[in-house]
Amino acid sequence: MSDPTRVLAGHTAEMPEGHQTAVDLNGVSVLVVNFEGTYYALRNNCTHKDFPLLGGDVSMGRVTCEKHGAKFELATGKAKTLPAVKPVKLYRTQVEDGQLYVSEL
Ligand code: FES
């Protein structure tokens, strides 16, 4: 059965630490990151300008927007450095039978 509120992001065995991918959840691109063994999911758009966060450097629990360098906290979505000030939307991650799912919080 397909559940439009939840999408499969992939198999955890193929998403090692540091792995990033983007999934489509009801037409919205969501960034999924494995940081130090925990999966985080955030809207794949910087809140400064419309720019994808996918591929940005991840360190110290933050993902960096490659456009102008804003950093967002993976656990909260909060903007931690300028030029972004607004948080990015967070999503839920769930692992079931080795599969990682992303859904609305
Ligand atoms: S678009 Fe991300 S920091 Fe400007």
Q: How far is the CA of 51 from the centre of ligand 1 (A)?
A: 6
Per residue in 4-15, pLDDT (tens digit) is 789 999 999 999
- Which residue's CA is the nearest one to ligand 1's atom 3? 68
Domain segments of the chain: what residues? 6-94
Which residues does residue 6 pair with via DSSP β-bridges, in sequence order?
103
DSSP label of 35: E
pTM: 0.94
Q: Is the CB of 68 under 6 A from ligand 1?
A: yes
Predicted local distance difference test score (pLDDT) of residue 2:
56
- Which whole-number Å values give the CA distances from 101 to 9, 37, 49, 97, 105, in the listed order? 5, 15, 27, 11, 12
User: Structurally, what CATH architecture does the domain formed by 6-94 represent?
Assistant: 3-layer Sandwich (2.102)
Q: How far is the CA of 98 from the centre of ligand 1 (A)?
A: 34
Query: Counting beta carbons within 10 angstroms of the beta carbon of residue 31, is it exposed (0 to 12), middle (13 to 18) or buried (19 or more)?
Result: buried
The number of the ligand 1 atom at minimal distance from the alpha carbon of 65 is 2
**Residue 47: which of 82, 95, 86, 76 has the closest Cα?**
86
pLDDT over 60 at 1, yes or no: no
Per residue in 41-62, pLDDT (tens digit) is 999 999 999 999 999 999 999 9
DSSP label of 54: T
